[in-house]
């Protein structure tokens, strides 16, 4: 997900997507440990998406303050 797309979302929607992305990351990690992962690059992409969402949430909170 691009940063531009994330910035257009409401803070509650970003929180929801962040929770879903974290759950997907946990599932991928479990599949990695069992050797069932087909696309290991998805782990990195999900971690970066989580970082983007957290950064944008922090930016919005500090702009509101």
Show Cβ contacts of residue 56 under 8 Å, excluding neighbours closer than 6 positions: 3, 6, 7, 14
Q: Specify the number of domains making up the chain.
A: 1
By residue range, what is the domain housing residue 22?
3-64
The helix (run of H) or strand (run of E) holding residue 6 is: helix 3-7
Residue 58 maps to which CATH number? 1.10.287.310
pLDDT in tens, 10-59: 999 999 999 999 999 999 999 999 999 889 999 999 999 999 999 999 99
DSSP label of 8 = T
For residues 49 and 61, give the distance between their C-alpha atoms in angstroms, rounded to a whole number: 18
**Rounded to an integer, what is the distance from CA 37 to the centroid of its chain?**
19
* pTM for this prediction: 0.89
């Amino acid at each position: 997900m691009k940063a531009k797309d994330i910035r257009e979302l409401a803070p509650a929607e970003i929180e929801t997507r962040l929770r879903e992305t974290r759950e997907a990351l946990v599932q991928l990690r479990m599949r990695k440990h069992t050797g069932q992962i087909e696309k290991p690059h998805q782990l990195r992409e999900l971690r970066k998406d989580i970082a983007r969402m957290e950064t944008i949430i922090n930016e919005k909170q500090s702009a509101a303050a």
